Amino acid sequence: MFEGFRRIQVQTSDPAVKINLRYGGSGPAVLLIHGNPLTHVHWHLVAPRLAEKFTVVATDLRGYGDSGKPRGQPDHANYSFRRMALDHIEVMQHLGFDRFCVAGHDRGARAACRMALDHPERVSRLATFDILPTHHVLTQATWQWAVNSYHWFFMAQPYDIPEKLIEGKEDYYIIQKLTRMGIGKGGFSPETLAEYARCCTPENIHAVCEDYRAGVTIDMAMDSEDFEAGRKINCPTAIYWGEKSHTNRFYDPFKAWPQYCADIRRMKPLPCGHYPAEQVPDMVFEELNSFFAE
């Protein structure tokens, strides 16, 4: 897994957080950011192939994998997508890249969108996998979506209610979360499931809760301000989602995304659920390999 890649940790401007990552290949830089409850391993079937043409950087978000997991702040700002985006700007600067392409899945895609808004001079191209903008998700939510995506609100409950309810049951939680709870799940190898279970610790669960607490508070406030001001993502953007996922079942990406992105080059459903890079890795590779080379 990730043969030929180097593994390092990069200190961010937050003293409590080093970002764990693997990087390899040569050529223009491509940053890959995973979602919840995964790690950089999510990209293991895609990254080595992209590295034949690009320098590929695959990170663990703060709070996930082997990256730093600080305690949440009262306003949850240290788990906001703005802070996660800044982590990655600093990582790429450390590696010598001032401008790069970025692909994100799930929470990683939300961090990537915030990066494109906050640091447009750094993001040359953006690809998102199986999300809709947070502002759209929360303002257009239905009870059917809420039942399927219950974790958005369960994990966002006040400290330390969800943490204590999951404590001691992390292995059970992570396996059920990835294979049974909600639509579009599964498609993982035993090796990757074992890695995600290894990383599902009490510290990680607290971080995930802080991520979701930030999502419905400080992140939503930022996104609402941008939307009301008419600010959009301006870089060339590719939007992908799973035909069998909640994104496709409960929303219409074709109607939603143009409200938030000014330069959409590709919009395409993929024949998979919520985890395209592990469920249809060949298609994900082909899309990113061609889109980032344009």
Active site residues: 106, 274
Side chain identity at residue 149, one-letter code: S
d(CA 212, CA 259): 23
Beta bridge partners of 237: 126, 264
Residue with tokens 């469920």: 279
User: Burial of 147 by CB count in 10 Å (0-12 exposed, 13-18 middle, 19+ buried)?
Assistant: exposed
Hey, which bits of the chain come out as E strands? 6-11, 18-25, 29-33, 55-59, 100-105, 123-129, 237-242, 264-270
Which CA distances in Å does 28 have to 188, 218, 292? 29, 33, 9
First CA to last CA distance, the chain: 28
Helix axes 107-118, 81-94, angle to 10 degrees: 70
Per DSSP, 7 falls in state: E
Contact criterion met (CB below 8 Å) for 50 and 290: no
Gap between the Cα atoms of 72 and 209, Å rounded: 9
Q: Read off the amino acid at residue 178.
A: L
| Backbone phi and psi for residue 30, each to the nearest 5 degrees, phi listed first | -130, 125
